[in-house]
């Protein structure tokens, strides 16, 4: 069985400061891990994915995430927040590779303050 825990339901940062969204996972197999972003009235968009290559994964819009097997974590970071980053972020695990069945976390709402 696979599961994802997003440790913060809401994160608030000031524009220009770092962003950290925390995610822990549980998987019976070698997992694939993803971060998706959901802006209001828009579809889910893939930010980045980890599929057993480099443990530090770079995504779009300056986001990156590090896979730490010993800590079963896949935290999302960005050095400097932008107003346009305000959205809901989902950490996602799949332990069958590709996207046969994705298990989503409950989401983290990111607010960026001016």
Per CB under 8 A, residues contacting other proteins are 4, 34, 36, 41-46, 49, 90, 92, 96-107
Taking the least distance from each CB to other proteins, the nearer of 43 and 114 is: 43
- Name the residue among 80, 101, 83, 79 with its Cα closest to residue 92: 101
Closer residue to other proteins in complex, CB, 99/113 = 99
> Smallest Cα–Cα separation from 77: which of 58, 60, 91, 63?
63
Contact indicator for 90, 76 with CB cutoff of 8 Å: no
Beta carbon of residue 114, minimum distance to other proteins (angstroms, whole number) = 26
- Nearest approach in angstroms of CB 6 to other proteins is 8
């Amino acid at each position: 069985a696979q599961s994802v825990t997003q440790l913060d339901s809401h994160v608030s940062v000031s524009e220009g400061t770092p962003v950290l969204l925390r995610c822990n996972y549980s998987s019976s197999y070698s997992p694939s891990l993803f971060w998706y972003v959901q802006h209001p009235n828009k579809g889910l968009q893939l930010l980045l994915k980890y599929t057993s290559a480099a443990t530090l994964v770079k995504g779009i819009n300056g986001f990156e995430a590090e896979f730490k097997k010993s800590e079963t974590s896949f935290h999302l970071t960005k050095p400097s927040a932008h107003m346009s980053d305000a959205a809901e972020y989902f950490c996602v695990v799949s332990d069958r590779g590709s996207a046969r069945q994705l298990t989503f976390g409950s989401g983290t709402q990111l607010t960026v303050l001016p």
